[in-house]
Structures are given as C-alpha cells and as structure tokens.
Amino acid sequence: MIFLFIALPLVVAGVLPLVGKVSKRVLPDALANAVLLFLLVESALLGKQLASTGPFVQEFSWLGEPVNLRLALDGFSLFMLFTVSLVSFCVGIFSIDYMEHYGSKANYWALFLIMIAGMNGLVLSTDLFNVYLFLEVAAVASYALVAFGLEHDELEAAFKYLMLSVVASAFLLIAIAVIFGVTGSLSFTAVASGLQDLGIKYVVGFCAALFIMGFGLKAALIPFHAWLPDAHPSAPAPISAMLSGLLIKVSGVYALARVFFNIFGLTPALSTVLMYLATLSMVVAAFLALGQKDIKRMLAYSSISQVGYIVLGLALGTPLGIAGGLFHLINHALAKGLLFLNSGSIQRSTGTRNLDEMGGLAKRMPITAATNLVGSLSIAGVPPLNGFWSKLIIIIALVQAGQVGFAIVAVLASVLTLWYYLLIQRKAFFGKLNERWKEVKEAPFWMLASNVILALICIGIGIFFSLTIITWVRPAADALSQGVRSAFGSWGM
Amino acid sequence: MVLQILLLFGLVFFSVLAILIKDLLKAAISLAFASLLLGIIFFRMNSPYAGVFEISVVAGLITVLFMLTIALTKGGDAVESKTASFAFPAFFVIFIIIDALVMKKLLQKVPALPGPEVGGTIGQVLWKARTLDLVCQIAIIFAGVFAVLALFRKGGNKDE
C-alpha cells in the first residue's frame, strides 16, 4: 500500500495540533516518531516485495469507483523512499530533545510530517504536474520550518529561500506547461513517447534548459546556489539536516534524474552541460567552504560541493557512474545529516556556531566528537567509511569513460573536502579546552542516540558496502540506466 | 470572439493593477479577479483542468491565504523604490513587443499532438481525473495553515 507513504504523514499532521492541546510534548513526540518508524519499516519491507515482483503501479478505487490515484514504485523511487525514511527517522529522534526549547512542538511535527509526505509523493508520482505539486508541498513546509525559531536571521533566510524557490518553481511550471502544450499529456509514459514521436529538438532543448535551472536551483548547483548557505545554517539543526540531507536531493537531484533519464533520455549534450555544472559546484563550493568560520555555513557549502559529486556521477550516464552517484546520494544524506545534527548538539551546549570560539570540546563532549569524526571522514572519503566507496566508484566510472580530467578534479576536490573537515574537527574538538566551555555538558540522550545510530550506519555501510549496493543501489541505477525504456516497459502503462 | 478579447483585456488590466496598487489588500483582490478571468478563459478554450485549478487554487485558496496574512500582520514601512516603479512598466512594454513580433510565428512552427478529449463537469475533472492533485492541494493547505500557526505563534521566541 504505497499510498500510505503520503496519506499517513498527512493524516497524522492534521491530527497533531489537536493532540498538542492534550499533551504539549510527549504525545506529539511519540506519535510523530511512531509514524517515522513505521515508514522506515514499511520501506524496508517494500524492498523485499519489489525484488520479487519488479516495478509496479498501484491504482485505487474509492467505494467501488476507480479514482485517479496512480503511484508507481521502481528501484529508483524505492531507493529514495528508503533514504528519506531512514534519515528522517534519525532526525525525528534528535528533534525530541533539540526542539524542546522552541515551543509549539505539535506544529513543528505537523510541518515536519507534511514535508515528508511531500517528498514521498514526489518520489512516487508518475505525472509531471504531480511532481511539481508535491515539490511545492515539501517546499512550503520547509519555508516555515527554516523560519521556525522566528529570529531575525531565520526569517531573512526563509524569505530568501522562498524568493529563489519561487523562481525555480516558475521555471519548472513553464517547462511543464510547454510539454503539456506539445504532447497533450502529463504522465511520464505519454510525455516520453510523445516527445520521441514529435522529434522537436528545440522545444525539448528549451524545456531541458528550464528544468536544469529549476531543479538546479532546488539542488543548489552552482551558479544557482545563492539561497542555500543562508537557509540551511539558519534553520534549527534537525531541519538543516533534513534540507541538506534530503530535500535538495529529492526535489533537486531525484526530479532532475527522473526527468532527464526516464522522460527526455540523456543526450550527450545534456550530459556534458550537467557534468560541467557539477564539477563547478564541486570545486567552487569546496573553496568557499574553506573560508567559513560558522560551522553550519561550512557544512552548507560542503553540501553544494557534494551534490556536485552526485550529479557528476549521474550525468556521466554509464551504469557504474549512475550507481556511484546514487550511492554517494545516500552516503551524503546520512553523513551530512549526522554532521548537521552534531553541529546542533554543539550549538545547544555552547550557544555558538563560530569555530574560532570553540576548542577542546572533545574533553567535554566525547561522544559528539567521535560521531562528528565519523561523519567528517565519511564525507571526505576516507576508507573504510561509506563515502570512500561511493567517491571511488564515481572516480573509477569517470576513468573508465575516458573522462580523466573530471576524475582528477574530483580527487583534488576530495582532498579539499578532507582539509576543511579536519579544520572543523581541530578547531571545535581538539586542542586545549577553552575556559568558557568548562561547564559544558554532553548532549541529552535522544540527540546522542540519533547521532550514534547515524554514525554506526555510516560505518556499517562502509564495511558492508557491496551488500548495500546489491540490495538498494543497483535496482535504482538499473531503473535510471534503462532510460526512456523504463518509463514504457517496467511501469506497464 | 468579442467576449474573449474583453476577457483577455480584463486579465491584463487586473494583473497590472495587482502589481501597481500600493494597498496590499486591494492588490490581492485584483489578483484574484485576474485569475478568475483566466479561469473562465481556460474553460472557454476547452481546458477544464486548467480552469478548475486556476479558480480553486489561485482565485480561491491563495487569495484566502493572502488575506489571512495581511489581516494577521501590521503594515510596515512603505518601500519606495524608483527602480521598481520604472522596471515593471519597461519590462511590460518589452514583453508586449516581443510577444507581438515572435509568438504567433513561433507557435505555428512547433508541432503538437492533439490534446486529450476532456470534458464534463468540474466535479468529474476534479474527483475522477486529477484526484492526486486534490491530495496535493489538501497537503498544501495544511502546510500553509500550519506555517501561519507556527510563524505567528504567541511569544514565539526560543526561551518560551
């Protein structure tokens, strides 16, 4: 019943404010986390089902009448669904303690669940207009969540995020309108076949450019990144983790890949444009991250850089490249989620995000220091952690495809990444303990629990990387590398 | 044909009004008028899908959200910007010129498949053909309402 992934969070979100009247904290926490846990278990079970049945479409009837609720699940959507469920569950646990002092928890959880419903819907829908609508659902919830603290910075960041997101939505909507105009349809299958029959190169090119700008803005690829370094650091830490870990990937990378692989079909020209954009993001954002003093801002720039890696792997278009890109997607979602949550722990304990003011925190917060080290080394690509394998696969794929130049840039950007992550580790956790932090305590239980779970998953995937690739990444990569055929064949429409 | 032209003129008129008017409430109302006219145009051009969405979402829901927000907030300092008052009319004129010169020829050159045979009442379109969109609309209404509740909560600072 894949409709549950949309309906359950929505229904619970609708009930939560009422529940909040009865119990301000415990019930909303319990209810929301129960939903997140259920979705995680359900997505894992769906993996088993998909392995035996193959991709399938579900349609629904209401009191015997068929209604047009059409959702499809293939390897790629399942992969995203699982990533969303896994990271949001960990972020959910973290929020129990972290959101305590913000007040209005029921509202927070309602918005959080709506954002998840939006992301799940986007991943499952088979219709361009539904993609746009679910994208907006997730986005509207995320604007409010970025501004949740109601401080000046947060409101300003949310406003900037809203303004640039609206521009992205406008681009997407125009592209969808043009496609609807020429093909007379919105469903992936009909659009894919319509565009092939018509053979209208220029119109497809125009729409592709609009989609690149729209999804590029959502994924914060350079030069469309201006909103991210403001929005992500200003949000409460769990929301930063959700935005950087998931939202930019679902509404940016997933949608981009779905449109370009399964609807338009990846052409060499498109592939080249995307690879250059990705490389630019990778390198420029890594340099920008180096100069940051605010720990969350540094992490935000790092997200732009890592999305560059993901898009580079995908845009290469070879099966190995796609697998590498997708594997890096889940690895980055986990590790960046972990790092943003860690930064939240630090901010809550010390009250600052400025790296220069920290120092020696490992003595007072040993577990946070350890989990932060795992996250940092994972994103920097140090073996045997998960990030190493995905970067390795991307680089091998680049070399195999004869793109040695891109491969060298990817390696060099990885060195830069290691540099600024060691900088965080050294400035925040190592060295002499700053006098100001003598009384600092380790983060509360639920925050620690979530950090430890994420760190263990990072290590686990690193050790059992081949198992992860076989069960989760390969079916997803297959769905993408089949290209336009996947839209016709596997969904049987 | 005359009615169509009148509708189109009305659409442009109210859209421009929505941007130029200083009073936010009146601007929101004229925007709602513009989208109502657009919705009618969609229906007359045999696109009930678009008409339904235009009227229900833009003319209905969004206007309500605008009015709610305007009612909940206090008037801030008026922002007077000379560039803004020049930029919009200039952009508008340039757009009209490009539109008149290019669009008709361009559209004739693009081949298109016939659109789907849609018809029926609003109810049929909304409940049977685009049910998932309806779910999305509910989700967006939820998101909007909770966003307003969260952002305008009492004493909403962190030390509450």
pLDDT in tens, A8-47: 999 999 999 899 888 888 999 999 999 999 999 999 999 8
Contacting A residues, span 102-161, partner chain B, CB-CB under 8 Å: 102-104, 107-108, 110-111, 114, 117-118, 121, 125, 127, 129-130, 133-134, 136-137, 140-141, 143-144, 147-151
Structure tokens at A226: 């201006």
Whole-structure pTM over 0.90, yes or no?
A: no
Which residue, among A25, A131, A27, A185, has the nearest Cα to B114 in the 3D structure? Answer: A185
Angstrom distance (rounded) from CA A236 to CA A293 = 18
Six-digit token pair at A136? 């907006």
Residue numbers of B between 52 and 111 with CB closer than 8 Å to A: 110-111
Question: For chain A, how far is it from start to end, CA to CA, in angstroms?
Answer: 19
Q: What is the mean pLDDT of chain A?
A: 90
pLDDT of residue A50: 85
What residue type is A343 in one-letter code?
A: S
Q: How many CA atoms lie within 13 A of B62 on its CB side?
A: 18
- Partner residue facing B158 (CB), from A17, A102, A133: A102
Residue B120 has pLDDT above 70, yes or no: no
Nearest to B136 among A108, A133, A181 (CB): A133
Whose CA is closest to A295, among A246, A238, A232, A249? Answer: A232
Return the H-helix or E-strand segment holding A67: strand A65-73
Q: Could you give the ipTM of this predicted complex?
A: 0.86
Q: At A456, list the tokens.
A: 């263990």
- Answer whether residue A169 shows pLDDT above 60: yes
- Spatial CA neighbour of A386 closest among A457, A471, A451: A457
HSE-up (13 A, CA, CB side) for residue A449: 13
What would the DSSP string read from start to end of A287-346? HHHHT--BHHHHHHHHHHHHHHHHHHHHHH-SHHHHHHHHHHHHHHHHHHHHHHHHHHHH
> Which residues in chain B touch residue A150, judged by CB atoms under 8 angstroms apart?
151, 153, 156-157
Share of residues in chain A with pLDDT > 70 (%): 97
User: For A442-484, what is each residue's pLDDT tens digit?
Assistant: 889 999 999 999 999 999 999 999 999 998 999 899 888 887 7
Instruction: Inspect the interface and report whether the beta carbons of B142 and A147 lie closer than 8 Å.
Output: no
Among A459, A242, A308, which Cα is nearest to A370's?
A: A459
Report whether pLDDT(B156) > 60.
no
C-alpha A194/C-alpha A89 separation (Å) is: 40
Determine the residue type at A283: V
Closest CA to A424 of A387, A458, A373, A383: A373
- Cβ under 8 Å to B: A residues 211-240: none
- Considering only CA atoms, which of B68, B31, B53 is closest in space to residue B147? B68
Instruction: Delimit the domains of chain A by residue range.
Output: 4-488
| Structural element, H or E, at residue A66 | strand A65-73
